[in-house]
Amino acid sequence: MLNNQLRRKKLLKKFQIETILKIPGHVSLDNVNVWFQDEARFGQRNTTTRIWAEKDSRPRVVQQQPFQYAYLFAAVGVNTGQTEAIVAPVSNMEVMTKHLQLISDATPKGKHSFSDHYGSGQLALSLFRGAV
């Protein structure tokens, strides 16, 4: 347990340092809202195929191949606890731009937003479990 706590603290410290280094020098850290962002794909593929047939026979059956997916883009503001999310049928640059626009619209005037996309799920989970 102690080992996990130390790992989480190191992860948080590394994130804090990397975040500060990415923010331009003229922006005060008090005016920065940090967002953790992640994407997920939810979907279904029908694989079960059944057909009525005579006993001891194995008729050929055409199986449905199409996939149906929904993509979820979500973000949580660490400073405020505010959340923003968008569900889309595809994952592309246009949807990501809309999601970033939602985060931008949720940012108060005079503040800046920093959105972490890489590894945010792991970091957020570590913080949620009581790392600090």
* Residue pLDDT, tens place only, 7-45: 767 766 676 677 677 777 777 777 788 888 888 888 876
In a domain, 125, yes or no: yes
Ranges of H-type helices in the chain: 2-22, 93-106, 120-128
Mean pLDDT of 70-80: 89
In a domain, 19, yes or no: no
Structure tokens at 131: 């790392």
In a domain, 55, yes or no: no
In a domain, 101, yes or no: yes
Residue type, 37: Q
Provide the pLDDT for residue 118: 59
**pTM confidence score:** 0.61
Q: Find out whether 113 and 23 touch, Cβ atoms under 8 Å.
A: no
In a domain, 50, yes or no: no
List pLDDT tens digits, range 122-132: 544 444 444 43
Q: Model confidence at 71, in pLDDT bands (50, 70, 90)?
A: very high
Min mean pLDDT across 11-15, 74-78, 90-94 is at: 11-15
Q: Find out whether 39 and 73 touch, Cβ atoms under 8 Å.
A: yes
In a domain, 47, yes or no: no
Which domain range does residue 101 map to? 34-41+68-132
In a domain, 96, yes or no: yes
Which has more confidence, 48 or 78?
78
How far is Cα 120 from Cα 102, in angstroms, rounded to an integer? 18
